[in-house]
Structure 1
């Protein structure tokens, strides 16, 4: 369906029926390590992406963290509208989840986590001679960057965790990283763990668009089309000015032609290099150049529907487990094949 926006028609819905599954072997191993180490953990910091406050929830963590102190940290808050924070915190509180928003470049926001750790120790100093905090979350939500920020602020030391713009940089559960001297607080970094099967294809697109799934796993042309669809619906987002193109459009092919010529992404003969142009378009979004955006709908009805559809049962069925195992095996086969082709 389309509606008129100014002098043009824009879509009001986006249809996509294919699932995007990415659950390589190191994620399954990471989940096992998390379970094994959880007995030694006092506080779990579940990190999510503020641009997709619902879609970045991984229901697998519900069973793993059960019975532990937990705080939900919506990272990359500098890329999401400030206006969503109160709504998200209210909706999470309804589900007994304490939510914070962090921007790792702003010390004050990161200190919230250290202050929470200090409070736990202060309330029960006999139990917590030292506090062990485990950082969990889906790929590329900024867990390692958050750890480095906590270490910089808490003990004024440099990077302790490797970071990168692509998902899958952290592949194993790390040893303890000290982030506070008094009281003694240690962090444990973990690999980003994807949901083995995201039932909603649009939610999977959102995760991929924000960098949680490797681009070569998703269909990048679909990601670009969905991004254009959302940009046309956002109030106050002037993507034409950002991209330096003459006019808005709801046609992704037309946009890529205009943009490719603008940035000089051309093949021999003057043909637009579509792949290079798509990469530029997606990178522009991921770098926050379109301004603060939220890809999830956060009205009360949409939130309720999301939780009912995706999180009713936190433990996967045997059939879902078999599907996840087969998906991981297929992914390992594909990665081995790609590796051989590159050699």
Structure 2
């Protein structure tokens, strides 16, 4: 497919990060793979399975506080059905995070702990590598675990630029790495979803087109949220995504001279409302029986 979402997105530092992960795997006991709970498959780097191989792994569905809770539970079961230990996390508050992570580590490293105990080796601080695509919330996750601003945070991709070790109360040692994306988006749908959440820099995208596509998703499963948030009429649910954006623009007063809707301004409002969860807890994909990692 030849379209604006099939992007080449593999700058030099991301290639360097991939090599960094491969080179440092031997230094860690477990890999913590963060994904966005709103799009658990689309926000996974498909190269990760090859990169980490048989290294013990825990998938963390981050930003679960702004995802559809019922679907988050389905995704947790999805990963566990594939023998991948998975937990959900709210990195903004950190509620229950340490306990959930402790339990998951005991499960995935049970064999190692047993071997070490048999050999009389005293348990040391568990060394973990934290990986994930840009803007998935790695820095916020690390800061919640450490209880301090150990990693830089931001609402745009690419904040973390180099690896860094972060010690947590003698119990864990975390290796943070820059976010990595794959060389090319083979799936246009995945690229759109990542763009919705801010995982691709907005400067290289058409924000109006992005808002139209997002409205197309929301109309299917979260129309009630749109009606409530923007005080729309029930009849608006019959509008197509282009007409719907105009209706939202009029409700929000985004009208320019001549009575036309400022579609650019309206588009930015819709994207912002989705990312800040003003539209409610929304998940953009649901696991299917035939879904593959």
Q: Which residue of 1 is the match for residue 130 of structure 2?
A: 135
Matched, 1:72 2:55: no
Q: Which residue of 2 is the match for residue 146 of structure 1?
A: 141
Alignment of 1:194-209 (within 5 A): 194-209=181-196
Distance 2:263 2:284 in 1: 24
SS of aligned partner of 1:258: helix
Distance 2:188 2:167 in 1: 39
Distance 1:249 1:165 in 2: 34
Q: Which residue of 1 is the match for residue 244 of structure 2?
A: 255
Report if the CA contact (8 A) 1:80-1:292 is conserved: yes
Q: Which residue of 2 is the match for residue 161 of structure 1?
A: 151
Query: In the TM superposition, what is the alpha-carbon distance from 1:215 to its structure 2 partner?
Result: 1.6
1:144-163 Cα shifts (integer Å, max 9, x gaps)? 110001011xxxxx211111
Distance 2:161 2:223 in 1: 39
Report if the CA contact (8 A) 2:249-2:266 is conserved: yes
Judged with a 3 Å threshold, the aligned counterparts in structure 2 of structure 1 residues 71 and 127 are, in CA distance, closer, same or farther, namely farther
Report if the CA contact (8 A) 2:212-2:245 is conserved: no
Distance 1:297 1:107 in 2: 25
Matched, 1:190 2:177: yes
Query: In the TM superposition, what is the alpha-carbon distance from 1:80 to its structure 2 partner?
Result: 1.7
Alignment of 1:49-128 (within 5 A): 49-104=36-91, 105-117=93-105, 120=109, 123=114, 124=116, 126=121, 128=123
Matched, 1:23 2:13: no
Query: In the TM superposition, what is the alpha-carbon distance from 1:108 to its structure 2 partner?
Result: 0.9
Query: Is 286-295 or 253-262 further displaced after alignment?
Result: 253-262
Query: Is 164-173 or 135-144 further displaced after alignment?
Result: 164-173
Report if the CA contact (8 A) 1:79-1:291 is conserved: yes
Query: In the TM superposition, what is the alpha-carbon distance from 1:115 to its structure 2 partner?
Result: 4.1
Report if the CA contact (8 A) 1:22-1:217 is conserved: no
Give the root-mean-square deviation of aligned CA atoms: 2.5
Distance 2:70 2:153 in 1: 28
Query: In the TM superposition, what is the alpha-carbon distance from 1:84 to its structure 2 partner?
Result: 2.1
TM-score (norm 2): 0.86
Matched, 1:283 2:272: yes
Judged with a 3 Å threshold, the aligned counterparts in structure 2 of structure 1 residues 23 and 17 are, in CA distance, closer, same or farther, namely closer
Query: In the TM superposition, what is the alpha-carbon distance from 1:101 to its structure 2 partner?
Result: 0.9
1:241-263 Cα shifts (integer Å, max 9, x gaps)? 20234433543333333333433
Query: In the TM superposition, what is the alpha-carbon distance from 1:171 to its structure 2 partner?
Result: 1.8
Distance 1:226 1:171 in 2: 31
TM-score (norm 1): 0.74
SS of aligned partner of 1:216: helix
Report if the CA contact (8 A) 1:19-1:199 is conserved: yes
Q: How many residues align?
A: 281
Consecutive unaligned residues in structure 1, runs of 5 or more: 1-15, 153-157, 312-343
Q: Which runs of 4 or more aligned residues in structure 1 lie more than 6 Å from their structure 2 counterparts after TM superposition?
A: none
Report if the CA contact (8 A) 1:229-1:250 is conserved: no
1:299-341 Cα shifts (integer Å, max 9, x gaps)? 313x2xxx2xxx5xxxxxxxxxxxxxxxxxxxxxxxxxxxxxx
Judged with a 3 Å threshold, the aligned counterparts in structure 2 of structure 1 residues 283 and 110 are, in CA distance, closer, same or farther, namely farther
Query: In the TM superposition, what is the alpha-carbon distance from 1:117 to its structure 2 partner?
Result: 4.1
Query: In the TM superposition, what is the alpha-carbon distance from 1:264 to its structure 2 partner?
Result: 3.7
